[in-house]
């Protein structure tokens, strides 16, 4: 620059200074910006960056289990896999050959192994704009294995050079994610009580719904980061499903008695072509519900074909007119109040009595009758006179003492209350309500009310949930049986028990409920159903019931059986009483409380019981004797093996033969054997066995029979 002229040198220095100044200003600006980013806005920018790659993922905890009184599982969560897809990644080239997946072919194969339409699968995996899709949740073990095979074969097909002995790498964009699903070991048997969980993990019916908050547990937020492919990585090693587990619920149900009740109810309803039915088994001293069964029922493990009607818990939601079973409470209350004496006589009026504009009728006509005979022969006329002696207010107070009018408080959704009406009853209504028409009750309320008679006069609330524990077994809640409140004086309760035993003895309406060696107390009920679209009662639609307890001297079980709209026969003593007998007999044997029999041992074949009166449509053969040997002289016995009770009945009817049934399910043995000569006057003895049920020994006679023709 010394060689330059003075003027040019000066200009050069000016330009160089200006350039250095610009560079200095730019560097200063850069330093200031860096300072602002690294120091002044450091916290803000760090949070923004963390927001882009970090997530707090809500993790669903393990749902609590439901157990019966003996610790047998009724509802548990088991590992399961869900097929998920990332369609935007699945549409990209895969493998060393850079081939794209044939999504149409993949959808067809996945649909075949998962039971889904191929078009539906393609919709969930074929849209490249979709980032995430749940293709098929809660796969079964067989489906999971089949899906793994399909994905492995598809991945191997995209890599022709892969060695045969090497495992194919995962198919990018579709995978199996481990979750959990609900499993119900008893299947249909306890479906209405336990309930069911929906695909979202929320309880839909039964205890799964009413106790959903306790069973579900608490979600936790687990910190994780996303890698370059967008996959979530849990930095603290937390896995899905490891939230705060839900509580475990322990019930008073007994899985064995529950299975017995469900099986016998289902067989009876199907044989009778009934619209529905319910059974409740309770311990009268504690109020514990040992079984609650309904028909129709459903399998909570498979809801694909379940109708809403099958999911209804009829035992608590259906309100019906009970008929003559209410005579227990009207007669008992009148005796307890002293308005009626045990030996007092009531006029039978020749089986027909007019009160107001109503004419009452009796099936069994007695000239004069005591309260015991009113119960034994189920007299509407006698019950009406006893109810009128109590009066409208006295009768309503009596029913409320037995728990009618209030919900039982069971932790189940949808429980109905008894219907008393919104005004005071007139004399005609008092008369009809006394024998169970004009009032609506539920099976659960009948079971609770009868328990007050069986346990000596105290109304003990029904109990279904005994305790709640956390995942470690720590007790969270305990529900002990309540002491109850007085409903009857102990002496009146004992008197009513003796009256009710006459119902199941010779001359009573419920002889089909009697059990050899066991005193059974109970009451039949046959109620016409009200017309749906006009006033009055239907002539061909009935509710048939039997409620009772055994052994009468020291009751172990109270059983309520209700059959809705049975066909052919509708008398409670012919329809519901045999169901009661089979449930009680099997349950007492299981409990070791059947006199003269050890647990699991089959006793001698009892003599069929003859009801006091039969109708042309009766299923009972009153003259059949099955324990006296007679020389074979009849036609050859038909082959009945493998048939249901209904099919066997159709097969023997044209030959004028009768059946003596034991058990339920399909026929596995018969006597006489197929083709052997029949004995005149003797029925064909058949043993039925459900899948996984009790199998009688080849030489044992059935412990209980139902004689059909």
CATH of the domain at 227: 3.90.1310.10
- Domain final residue, candidates 248, 268, 296: 248
DSSP conformation class of 251: E
Considering the domain architecture, whether residues 24 and 152 belong to the same structural domain is answered as no
Residue 219 lies in a domain: yes
**How does strand 458-459 pair with strand 684-689?**
unpaired
Considering the domain architecture, whether residues 108 and 238 belong to the same structural domain is answered as yes
Per-residue pLDDT band at 612 (split at 50, 70, 90): very low
Amino acid 127: pLDDT: 83
Residue 166 lies in a domain: yes
| Tokens at 249, concatenated | 């619920």
Amino acid 594: pLDDT: 82
Separation between Cα atoms, residue 155 and residue 170, nearest integer Å? 7
Residue 669 lies in a domain: yes
Which of residues 55 and 494 earns the better pLDDT score? 494
What is the pLDDT averaged over residues 290-306?
90
- Establish whether 324 is a catalytic residue: yes
Amino acid 466: pLDDT: 95
Angle value at C-alpha 638, between 637 and 641, nearest 5 degrees: 115
DSSP conformation class of 553: S
User: Based on the structure, what is the number of domains in the chain?
Assistant: 3
Separation between Cα atoms, residue 673 and residue 317, nearest integer Å? 46
Per-residue pLDDT band at 133 (split at 50, 70, 90): confident
What is the pLDDT averaged over residues 415-431?
78
For 366-386, the pLDDT digits (tens) are: 889 999 999 999 999 999 999
Amino acid 513: pLDDT: 95
Separation between Cα atoms, residue 181 and residue 185, nearest integer Å? 13
For 235-269, the pLDDT digits (tens) are: 555 444 444 678 999 999 999 999 999 999 999 99
Q: Which domain holds residue 693?
A: 621-709
For 147-205, the pLDDT digits (tens) are: 998 888 887 777 766 666 676 677 778 888 887 788 999 999 999 999 999 877 788 99
Separation between Cα atoms, residue 420 and residue 635, nearest integer Å? 57
Separation between Cα atoms, residue 41 and residue 247, nearest integer Å? 46
Residue 393 lies in a domain: no
Residue 198 lies in a domain: yes
Per-residue pLDDT band at 422 (split at 50, 70, 90): low
**How does strand 537-550 pair with strand 458-459?**
unpaired
Q: Is the pLDDT of residue 317 over 70?
A: yes
What is the pLDDT averaged over residues 423-451?
90
Amino acid 45: pLDDT: 66
Considering the domain architecture, whether residues 19 and 114 belong to the same structural domain is answered as no
Which of residues 611 and 359 earns the better pLDDT score? 359
| C-alpha distance from residue 99 to each of 102, 128, 230, 248, 542 (Å) | 9, 16, 22, 50, 70
Q: Is the pLDDT of residue 292 over 60?
A: yes
- Domain final residue, candidates 225, 248, 271: 248
Per-residue pLDDT band at 679 (split at 50, 70, 90): low
Average pLDDT of the chain is 81
Which range, 2-11, 40-49, 428-437, is most confident? 428-437
Percent of the chain predicted with pLDDT > 90: 42
- Domain final residue, candidates 248, 276, 311: 248
Q: Is the pLDDT of residue 499 over 80?
A: yes
What is the pLDDT averaged over residues 559-584?
93
Is residue 610 a contact partner of residue 511, using CB atoms and an 8 Å limit?
A: yes
pTM of the model: 0.71
Amino acid 519: pLDDT: 94
For 462-474, the pLDDT digits (tens) are: 999 999 998 888 9
What is the pLDDT averaged over residues 300-323?
89
Residue 685 lies in a domain: yes
Which of residues 61 and 98 earns the better pLDDT score? 61
Amino acid 681: pLDDT: 61
Separation between Cα atoms, residue 257 and residue 649, nearest integer Å? 27
Which range, 241-245, 433-437, 449-453, is most confident? 449-453
Considering the domain architecture, whether residues 35 and 87 belong to the same structural domain is answered as no
Which residues neighbour 593 within 8 Å (Cβ) at sequence distance 6 or greater?
551, 556
Amino acid 320: pLDDT: 92
Which residues neighbour 384 within 8 Å (Cβ) at sequence distance 6 or greater?
353, 355, 360, 430, 431, 432, 434, 435
Instruction: Annotate 377-392 with three-state secondary structure.
Output: CCCHHHHHHHHHHHHH
Burial 234-254 (b: 16+ CB within 10 A, else e): eeeebebbebebbbbbbbbbb
Per-residue pLDDT band at 34 (split at 50, 70, 90): confident
Amino acid 220: pLDDT: 63
Amino acid 443: pLDDT: 95
Identify each DSSP E strand in 104-198 by its residue range. 133-139, 174-183, 196-197
Considering the domain architecture, whether residues 170 and 107 belong to the same structural domain is answered as yes
**How does strand 133-139 pair with strand 73-85?**
antiparallel
Separation between Cα atoms, residue 622 and residue 573, nearest integer Å? 14
- Closest C-alpha to 279, from 27, 545, 532, 83: 545
Which of 324, 379, 434, 544 is catalytic? The answer is: 324
Amino acid 702: pLDDT: 35
Considering the domain architecture, whether residues 18 and 148 belong to the same structural domain is answered as no
Considering the domain architecture, whether residues 170 and 73 belong to the same structural domain is answered as yes
In this predicted structure, which of 76-90, 130-144, 594-608 has the lowest mean pLDDT?
594-608
Beta bridge partners of 246: none
Amino acid 625: pLDDT: 28
Per-residue pLDDT band at 701 (split at 50, 70, 90): very low
Considering the domain architecture, whether residues 24 and 62 belong to the same structural domain is answered as no
Residue 111 lies in a domain: yes
Helix (H) or strand (E) holding 312: none
Amino acid 170: pLDDT: 77
In this predicted structure, which of 182-196, 228-242, 472-486, 532-546 has the lowest mean pLDDT?
228-242
3-class DSSP state of 164 = coil
For 262-277, the pLDDT digits (tens) are: 999 999 999 999 999 9
Residue 655 lies in a domain: yes
Angle value at C-alpha 454, between 345 and 580, nearest 5 degrees: 95
Per-residue pLDDT band at 609 (split at 50, 70, 90): very low
What is the pLDDT averaged over residues 115-139?
86
Considering the domain architecture, whether residues 140 and 24 belong to the same structural domain is answered as no
Amino acid 248: pLDDT: 94
Amino acid 70: pLDDT: 94
Considering the domain architecture, whether residues 32 and 127 belong to the same structural domain is answered as no
3-class DSSP state of 154 = helix
Total count of residues recorded for the chain: 709
Amino acid 175: pLDDT: 86
- Closest C-alpha to 547, from 586, 591, 496: 496
- Closest C-alpha to 103, from 129, 122, 124: 122
Considering the domain architecture, whether residues 30 and 175 belong to the same structural domain is answered as no
Residue 132's CB: how many other CB atoms inside 10 A? 11
Amino acid 491: pLDDT: 94
Considering the domain architecture, whether residues 99 and 240 belong to the same structural domain is answered as yes
Q: Is the pLDDT of residue 578 over 60?
A: yes
Which residues neighbour 25 within 8 Å (Cβ) at sequence distance 6 or greater?
none
Which residues neighbour 641 within 8 Å (Cβ) at sequence distance 6 or greater?
667, 668, 669, 670, 674
């Amino acid at each position: 620059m010394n060689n330059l002229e003075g003027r040019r040198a000066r200009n050069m220095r000016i330009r160089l200074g200006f350039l250095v100044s610009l560079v200095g200003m730019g560097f200063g600006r850069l330093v200031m910006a860096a300072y602002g980013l690294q120091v002044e806005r450091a916290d803000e920018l760090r949070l923004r960056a963390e927001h882009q790659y970090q997530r707090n993922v809500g993790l669903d905890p393990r749902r609590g289990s439901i157990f019966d009184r003996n610790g047998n599982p009724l509802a548990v969560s088991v590992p399961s896999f869900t097929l998920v897809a990332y369609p935007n990644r699945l549409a990209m080239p895969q493998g060393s050959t850079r081939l794209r997946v044939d999504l149409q072919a993949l959808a067809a194969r996945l649909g075949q192994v998962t039971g889904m339409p191929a078009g539906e699968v393609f919709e969930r995996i074929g849209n490249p704009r979709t980032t995430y899709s749940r293709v098929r949740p809660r796969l079964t073990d067989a489906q999971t294995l089949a899906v793994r095979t399909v994905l492995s074969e598809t991945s191997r097909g995209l890599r022709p050079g892969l060695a045969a002995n090497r495992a194919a790498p995962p198919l990018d964009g579709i995978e199996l994610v481990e979750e959990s699903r609900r499993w119900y070991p008893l299947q249909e048997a306890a479906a209405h009580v336990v309930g069911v969980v929906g695909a979202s993990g929320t309880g839909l019916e039964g205890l799964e719904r009413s106790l959903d908050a306790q069973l579900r547990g608490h979600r936790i937020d687990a910190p994780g980061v996303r890698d370059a492919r967008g996959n979530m990585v849990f930095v603290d090693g937390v896995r899905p499903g490891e939230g705060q587990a839900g509580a475990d619920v322990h019930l008073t149900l007994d899985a064995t008695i529950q299975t017995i009740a469900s099986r016998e109810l289902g067989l009876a309803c199907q044989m009778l072509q009934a619209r529905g039915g319910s059974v409740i088994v309770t311990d009268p001293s504690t109020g514990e519900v040992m079984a609650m069964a309904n028909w129709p029922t459903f399998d909570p493990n498979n809801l694909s074909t379940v109708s809403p009607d099958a999911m209804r818990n009829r035992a608590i939601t259906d309100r019906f007119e009970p008929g003559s079973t209410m005579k227990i409470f009207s007669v008992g209350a009148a005796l307890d109040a002293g308005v009626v004496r045990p030996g007092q006589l009531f006029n039978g009026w020749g089986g027909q009595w007019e009160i107001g504009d109503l004419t009452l009728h009796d099936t069994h006509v007695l000239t004069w009758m005591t309260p015991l005979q009113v119960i034994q022969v189920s007299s509407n006329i006698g019950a009406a006179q006893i109810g009128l002696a109590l009066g409208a207010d006295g009768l309503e107070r009596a029913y409320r003492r037995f728990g009618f009018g209030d919900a039982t408080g069971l932790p189940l959704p949808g429980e109905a209350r008894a219907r008393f009406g919104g005004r005071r009853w007139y004399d005609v209504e008092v008369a009809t309500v006394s024998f169970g028409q004009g009032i609506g009750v539920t099976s659960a309320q009948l079971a609770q009310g009868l328990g007050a008679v069986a346990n000596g006069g105290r109304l003990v609330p029904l109990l279904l949930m005994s305790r709640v524990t956390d995942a470690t077994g720590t007790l969270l809640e305990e529900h002990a049986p309540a002491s109850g409140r007085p409903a009857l004086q102990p002496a009146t309760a004992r008197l009513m028990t003796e009256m009710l035993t006459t119902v199941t003895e010779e001359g009573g309406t419920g002889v089909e409920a009697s059990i050899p060696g066991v005193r059974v107390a109970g009451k039949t009920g046959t109620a016409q159903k009200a017309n749906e679209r006009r006033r009055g009662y239907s002539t061909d639609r009935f509710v048939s019931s039997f409620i009772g307890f055994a052994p009468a001297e020291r009751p172990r079980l109270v059983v309520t059986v209700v059959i809705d709209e049975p066909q052919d026969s509708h008398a409670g003593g012919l329809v519901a009483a045999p169901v009661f007998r089979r449930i009680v007999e099997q349950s007492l044997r299981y409990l070791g409380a059947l006199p003269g029999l050890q647990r699991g041992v089959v006793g001698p074949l009892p003599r069929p019981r003859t009801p006091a009166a039969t109708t042309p449509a009766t299923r009972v053969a009153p003259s059949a004797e099955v324990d006296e040997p007679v020389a074979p002289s009849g036609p050859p016995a038909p082959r009945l093996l493998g048939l249901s009770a209904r099919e066997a009945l159709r097969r023997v009817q044209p030959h004028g033969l009768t059946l003596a049934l034991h058990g339920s399910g399909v026929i596995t043995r018969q006597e006489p054997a197929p083709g052997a000569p029949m004995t005149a006057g003797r029925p064909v003895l058949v043993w039925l066995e459900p899948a996984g049920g009790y199998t009688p020994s080849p030489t044992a006679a059935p412990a209980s029979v139902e004689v059909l023709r």
